[in-house]
Chains A and B, each alone.
Chain A
Amino acid sequence: MTKIHVSATVNGEAVEFLADPRESLLDCLRDHLGLTGSKEGCGTGDCGACSVQVDGTLVCSCLVLGAEAQGKQIQTVEGLAQGSALHPLQRKFIEHAALQCGFCTPGILVAAKALLEQNPDPTDEEVRFWLAGNLCRCTGYDKIVRAVQDAAAEMREAV
Chain B
Amino acid sequence: MNFHRPPTFADASRIAAAASGLTRFLAGGTDVLVQLRAGMVTPEDLIDVKQIPGVFDVVRTADGGWRIGVAVSGMDLRRHEDLRAEWPGVVEGMNLVGSTQVQGRATLVGNLCNGSPAADSVPGLVAAGAMVEVTNAAGVRVVPVETIPAGPGKTTLQKGDVISAVILPPRGEKGGDAYLRFIPRTEMDIAVVGCAVSLTVEADVIRAARVALGAVAPTVLLVEEAAAAIIGTTLDDAALAALGKAAEGAAKPITDRRGTKEFRIELAGVLARRAAKIAYDRAKGTAK
B33 in complex: contacting residue of A65, A129, A131, A132, CB < 8 Å: A65
Q: Quick check: A24 and B100 within 8 Å, CB to CB?
A: no
Stretch at the interface among A7-15, A51-59, A73-81, A143-151: A51-59
- Beyond A59-B104, A129-B187, whether A64 also contacts B29 by CB under 8 A is yes
A133 in complex: contacting residue of B29, B36, B37, B99, CB < 8 Å: B99
> What CA separation (Å) do A129 and B50 show in the bound complex?
29
Chain B, range 69-113, C-beta contacts under 8 Å to A: 73, 75, 98-102, 104-105
Chain B positions within 8 Å of A21 at CB level: 1-3, 46
B138 at the interface (CB under 8 A from A): no
Q: Quick check: A45 and B98 within 8 Å, CB to CB?
A: yes
Mostly helix, strand, loop or mixed at chain A's interface?
mixed
> What CA separation (Å) do A45 and B46 show in the bound complex?
19
Chain A positions within 8 Å of B188 at CB level: 132-133
Determine how close the nearest CB of chain A comes to the CB of B53; give it in whole angstroms. Answer: 15
B34 at the interface (CB under 8 A from A): yes
> What CA separation (Å) do A21 and B100 show in the bound complex?
25
Q: Quick check: B37 and A57 within 8 Å, CB to CB?
A: no
> What CA separation (Å) do A36 and B38 show in the bound complex?
23
B114 at the interface (CB under 8 A from A): no
Chain B, range 143-166, C-beta contacts under 8 Å to A: none
Extra contacts, 5 of them, besides A65-B26, A65-B33 (Cβ < 8 A), are A22-B1, A51-B101, A58-B100, A63-B33, A63-B34
Interface residues of A (CB under 8 A from B): 1-2, 4, 21-22, 24, 43-45, 48, 51, 54, 57-60, 62-65, 67-68, 111, 114-115, 129-134
Residue in chain A with minimal CB distance to B38: A44
Interface residues of B (CB under 8 A from A): 1-3, 26, 29-30, 33-34, 36-38, 46, 48, 50, 73, 75, 98-102, 104-105, 187-188
Q: Quick check: B29 and A63 within 8 Å, CB to CB?
A: yes
Q: Quick check: A48 and B48 within 8 Å, CB to CB?
A: no
Determine how close the nearest CB of chain A comes to the CB of B5; give it in whole angstroms. Answer: 8
Chain A positions within 8 Å of B100 at CB level: 58, 111, 114-115, 129-133
Residue in chain B with minimal CB distance to A70: B5
Chain B positions within 8 Å of A1 at CB level: 1
Chain B positions within 8 Å of A62 at CB level: 33, 37
Q: Quick check: B34 and A44 within 8 Å, CB to CB?
A: yes
Determine how close the nearest CB of chain A comes to the CB of B24; give it in whole angstroms. Answer: 12
> What CA separation (Å) do A115 and B187 show in the bound complex?
18
Chain A positions within 8 Å of B102 at CB level: 45, 60, 63, 133
> Quick one: which of A21, A43, A63, A114 has the most chain B CB within 10 A?
A63
Chain A positions within 8 Å of B101 at CB level: 45, 48, 51, 58-60, 63, 111, 133
Chain B positions within 8 Å of A68 at CB level: 26, 29, 48, 50
Q: List 14 A-B contacts (CB under 8 A).
A: A44-B38, A45-B33, A57-B105, A59-B101, A63-B30, A63-B34, A64-B105, A67-B48, A68-B29, A114-B100, A129-B100, A131-B100, A132-B187, A133-B102
Chain A positions within 8 Å of B48 at CB level: 65, 67-68
> What CA separation (Å) do A68 and B105 show in the bound complex?
12
> What CA separation (Å) do A4 and B4 show in the bound complex?
11
Chain B positions within 8 Å of A67 at CB level: 3, 48
> What CA separation (Å) do A115 and B160 show in the bound complex?
40
Nearest 9 Cβ contacts at the A-B interface: A133-B99, A21-B3, A57-B104, A60-B101, A59-B104, A44-B34, A63-B33, A133-B101, A21-B1
Residue in chain A with minimal CB distance to B102: A45
Determine how close the nearest CB of chain B comes to the CB of A63; give it in whole angstroms. Answer: 5
Chain A positions within 8 Å of B38 at CB level: 44
- Beyond A44-B38, A45-B34, A59-B104, whether A4 also contacts B29 by CB under 8 A is no
> What CA separation (Å) do A107 and B102 show in the bound complex?
14
Chain B positions within 8 Å of A22 at CB level: 1, 36
Residue in chain B with minimal CB distance to A53: B104
Chain B positions within 8 Å of A64 at CB level: 29, 33, 105
- Beyond A21-B46, A133-B188, whether A58 also contacts B34 by CB under 8 A is no
Chain A positions within 8 Å of B104 at CB level: 54, 57-59
